[in-house]
Amino acid sequence: MSRFLIPLLVLILCAMPFMLGRGMLFLGTEILVIIAMAQAWNLLAGYGGLLSLGHHGFIGIGGYALFIVTRDTGLHPYLAIPFAGFVSAGLALFLAPILFRLRDVYFAVGLWVSAEILRIVVMRVDFTGNVNGMPLTAARNLNREWMGTNAYWLALALAVGVTFVVWLMMRSSFGLRLQALRDDEVAARSIGVAPKQVRLIVFMVSAGFAGMAGAVHFLSSLFITPVAAFDMTWMVTLVFVTIIGGIGRLHGPILGAVLYFALREFLGFSSSWYLFALGAAGVLIILFFPRGLAGLLDTIIAKFTKKGTAS
């Protein structure tokens, strides 16, 4: 069934720009960007067991990479998106020798500190427009009429692409090795899994996708500042969207993101009450439904089909 359903869904999502107003389209772009980012984080944390609290560093660097390369080389902004991914993946490659000595909380906070260093440096360097940030100078080459629509399509392509890549990776022997490593490192080593190599790949892929998603986000907003680029709120959103949806599940980030934005639009809380509610929801889910919405859905499906859990 899902063989037809998923392409149909993607097709409908593709057609959205012709049905939605400007505001809704912008919201759609935001949701899709968050899905892509949450998939990237979930790949590392949920499947790889490497919890990051510093993905906002990769997001920010991806955004800046796009702004700088289009400013200095005249590269078309849309083509600069993969470049942004490479820059973020390269940053991961650079950080890996330091952070891979660490586990668990050390790794998580070590990455957070790295993101902080990036934020402070970017704020102080004129090359990146220092604390004032910079506009997307290449925006003058873009078609104003289609800019919003194109950003939406880019975000859609990215969200679908990242989800597809994660799906492919987890079906491959690489995915098995990664999850074996997460569940029991000693046992995984004994069957010949090379921990460093596997983790480095997943770290770089996750960072690269986060960077591309950051690039798409700031491309759609046409302006970047250090405060917005390296905002911890990115991290908070990614973590809780994934937890609420179901960590370590492919549809977790998607379910979580949809619920997250639905609540945000309907409740219309102030941003701090909203974040408060998000934190509280995260705490409750970890305590009472550690498998998130995806797990809940499994239980419901299992009840109806009486055949055990799906997927």
Partner 1 sequence: MIWVETLLNGLMLGGLYALFGLGLSLIFGVMKIANIAHGELAIGGAFLAFTVVGVVPVPLVILLPVIAVLMFGLGYALQSAMINRVLGDDPIPPLLLTFGLSILLQNLLVELYGANSRSLDPGSFGVAGIDLGGLSVGLLPLMTLLITITLFVALQWMLSRTSFGRTIRATSDDPEIVAMMGVDRRHIFALVMGLSALLAAVAGMLLATRTSITPFSGAERLLIAFEVIVIGGLGSIWASLLGGLVLGVVHAIGFRLDPASGLLYGHILLLIILLVRPEGLAGKRRTR
Instruction: Kindly state whether residue 292 participates in binding partner 1, applying the rule CB under 8 A.
Output: no
Instruction: Kindly state whether residue 58 participates in binding partner 1, applying the rule CB under 8 A.
Output: no
Among 10, 157, 170, 232, binds partner 1 (CB under 8 A): 232
Instruction: Kindly state whether residue 228 participates in binding partner 1, applying the rule CB under 8 A.
Output: no
Where does this chain touch partner 1 (CB under 8 A) — which range of 27-35, 75-83, 146-154, 270-278?
A: 270-278
Where does this chain touch partner 1 (CB under 8 A) — which range of 20-28, 136-144, 222-230, 281-289?
A: 281-289
Residue corresponding to tokens 């000595």: 101
Candidates 2, 3, 60, 16; CA nearest to 233 is 60
Instruction: Kindly state whether residue 96 participates in binding partner 1, applying the rule CB under 8 A.
Output: no
Scan residues 239-268 and list those touching partner 1 (CB under 8 A). 239-240, 243, 247
8 A C-beta contact, residue 43 and residue 167: no
Instruction: Kindly state whether residue 52 participates in binding partner 1, applying the rule CB under 8 A.
Output: no
Q: Whose Cβ is closer to partner 1: residue 106's or residue 146's?
A: 106
Indicate the angle between helix axes 232-245 and 55-73, nearest 10 degrees.
120
DSSP per residue over 36-71, as a string?
Answer: HHHHHHHIIIIIT----S-HHHHHHHHHHHHHHHHH
For residues 275, 106, 175, 299, the Cα torsion angle rounded to the nearest 10 degrees is -40
| C-beta atoms surrounding 282 within 10 Å | 18
Where does this chain touch partner 1 (CB under 8 A) — which range of 23-31, 48-56, 67-75, 211-219?
A: 48-56
Scan residues 98-127 and list those touching partner 1 (CB under 8 A). 98-99, 101-106, 108-110, 112-114, 116-117, 120-121, 124
- For residue 21, count CB atoms less than 10 angstroms from its CB and return exposed for 0-12, middle for 13-18, buried for 19 or more: exposed
Which residues partner with 134 through β-bridges? 224
Instruction: Kindly state whether residue 93 participates in binding partner 1, applying the rule CB under 8 A.
Output: no
Which residues partner with 224 through β-bridges? 134
8 A C-beta contact, residue 155 and residue 36: yes
Q: Give me the least distance between CB of 103 and partner 1, in Å please.
A: 5
Instruction: Kindly state whether residue 283 participates in binding partner 1, applying the rule CB under 8 A.
Output: yes
Instruction: Kindly state whether residue 223 participates in binding partner 1, applying the rule CB under 8 A.
Output: no
**Residues lying near partner 1 in the complex (CB under 8 A):** 45, 49, 51, 53, 97-99, 101-106, 108-110, 112-114, 116-117, 120-121, 124, 232, 236, 239-240, 243, 247, 270, 272-276, 278-280, 282-283, 286-287, 290
